[in-house]
Amino acid sequence: MRAHLAARLDPVTLPAGMTTDDLAVVLLGAITGIHQQWRISPKTVDLDRVYDTLTSLLTAALGTAAVPEPAEPAEQADRPATGKRRR
């Protein structure tokens, strides 16, 4: 999964000394932590809001090229429903 994410981030211009693998590790760590929080308390973690927050942070830090396009609907079939809008 890390290699796939790093490949998606490859065209992004990163700060000196940072690799796409470094960024992939950080992002997967954030995603894993968010998922754990949601599993523990799904009523208090709004996955759509967290996605928007993470997207905003990446865009602000690295520009729009750093934010991969949302998954196609077929790829989202395994994503737990939040009862809110789907991307």
What distance in Å separates the CA atoms of residue 38 and residue 22, rounded to the nearest whole number?
25
Q: Name the residue with higher pLDDT: 65 or 61.
A: 61
How many residues belong to the chain?
A: 87
Q: Mean of the pLDDT values across residues 62-69?
A: 66
What distance in Å separates the CA atoms of residue 61 and residue 57, rounded to the nearest whole number?
6
pTM summary value: 0.67
Residue type, 40: I
DSSP codes joined into one string, 9-67:
HTTS---TT--HHHHHHHHHHHHHHHHHHHHH-TTT--HHHHHHHHHHHHHHHH-GGGS
User: Which tokens is 78 given?
Assistant: 């395994």
Q: What is the mean pLDDT of the chain?
A: 80
pLDDT band, very low/low/confident/very high, at 70 (cuts 50, 70, 90): low
pLDDT in tens, 27-63: 999 999 999 999 999 999 999 999 999 989 888 887 7
